[in-house]
Amino acid sequence: MKITEGLRESISVMGGNKIRAVLTILGINFGVGCLIAISVIGLAFRDSVGSEVGRYGSTLLWVQVDGNSYLKGESRILMDGRDIKFFKQALPGLQSSGTLFSETYTAAYMGESKEAQVLGVGPGHFEMFDSKIEKGRTFIEQDISLRKRVCVIRPDIAARLFKDEDPLGKVIRLSERNYTVIGVTERANNMLLSDGSDNNTIFIPDSLVGAKIWGGNFVKYWIYLFKFDSIENVEIAEERINSYLEKKYGLLRDLPRFRVQRLDSFVGMIDRILNIITTLVTVIAAISIVVGGLGIMNIMLVAVTERTREIGIRMAVGATKTDIVVQFIIEAIVLCLIGGATGVFFGAVLAAVVCSILEWKFMLSFVIVAGALGISTFIGLVFGIYPAWKASRLMPVEALRSDA
């Protein structure tokens, strides 16, 4: 039997049983769709993380209170200005540093208002997180030390409050206090490794937010970030910060009160989590594909019973056992390929939507598609062999007597 003839007959048979064919391929469709989606999203995620690490240069390090060391409701010890002063003096290759204080306020200007995330940051914050300024400037040391009521705003805030006006030099109202706009940033992308801000954020000097939270001049810090000129200095800083904090504050039930974390170790942790998720989804997809294959085998066995007389007629007019085997295997493979192809489509659409929302690069490679279709073909071959063999074992005379 020619392959093309087998394909035509397979399509004709499926056309006569459309509902059965659709239900049969659903398992393959779901499994392949899951594999495509998780593969594409995984590639996009790793590409995004790689791009961000490239931007930051793997030289970010931060220290924060380790909440896992404390019991529920137990008072936390925080870092203070003396700790930060020591770090700045003792850590070689330090390029910039800063903290994050976060509040939510309503920003108002000339009758317009918008609720916004307000981040208290230092002058090195924008360089540390590679935030570009579209117009104006960022904070300088004088803004911080003198607690000047100035702010840098994101584009959505500028568009909502100022419409077509130039926001530079304008005064907005935040928590019953006036702040002068000194800069507007470029649009922020949805970055995994970021300061947590979005395009609805207002930045003010950290000294203002810190003083408001703690009162007076004695500001305390839950988290502090550092950026260095080399990975070697990151390693030195990690060791010195751990040693200093343990010596000054001691341990809590043999656990550190603070956690020092590097960007590369953080990325490694995220990658391990992604690998676990990928493995789980792959297992689910594999089970779905196998179940789909079993469903196809079951349907093909039913088809053998229903088409017994047809098989007998074909054998009577000269079809060999090999022709019968090839015909049924082709039908099983075609069913699986249709399920695989539609699974590739739906998986790619799902991945494209996710990548679009997260602003990741959509990366559907030929290798992924070919692999998915190859798996579909293999499943069709494996689960089509037994029904095909059973069909070929029918005796022509007995098959012709069948009413099926």
pLDDT tens digits, one per residue of 128-181: 777 888 999 988 888 877 888 899 999 888 888 888 889 899 999 887 889 999
Boundary residue ending a domain (217, 249, 279): 217
**133 shares a domain with 46:** no
Instruction: Please indicate, yes or no, if residue 70 is contained in any of the structural domains.
Output: no
273 located within any domain: yes
Asked if the model's pLDDT at residue 344 lies above 90, the reply is: yes
Can you read off the two tokens belonging to residue 57?
A: 């240069």
pLDDT at 297: 87
Half-sphere exposure of 384 (CA within 13 A, CB side): 22
Q: What percent of the chain has pLDDT over 70?
A: 86
Domain containing residue 377: 3-52+268-401
Residues in the chain: 404
- The answer as to whether 17 is a domain residue is yes
Confidence (pLDDT) at 388? 84
Which pLDDT belongs to residue 359?
Answer: 80
Is residue 284 located within the same domain as residue 212?
no
Count of other CB atoms within 10 angstroms of residue 393: 11
Whether 281 and 361 share a structural domain: yes
Q: Which of 217, 233, 253 is the last residue of a domain?
A: 217
Q: Is residue 234 part of a domain?
A: no
Greater confidence (19 vs 60) lies with 60
pLDDT at 219 over 70: no
* Consecutive H or E run containing 164: none
Q: Please name the helix (run of DSSP H) or strand (run of DSSP E) that holds residue 94, with its range, or none.
A: strand 94-99
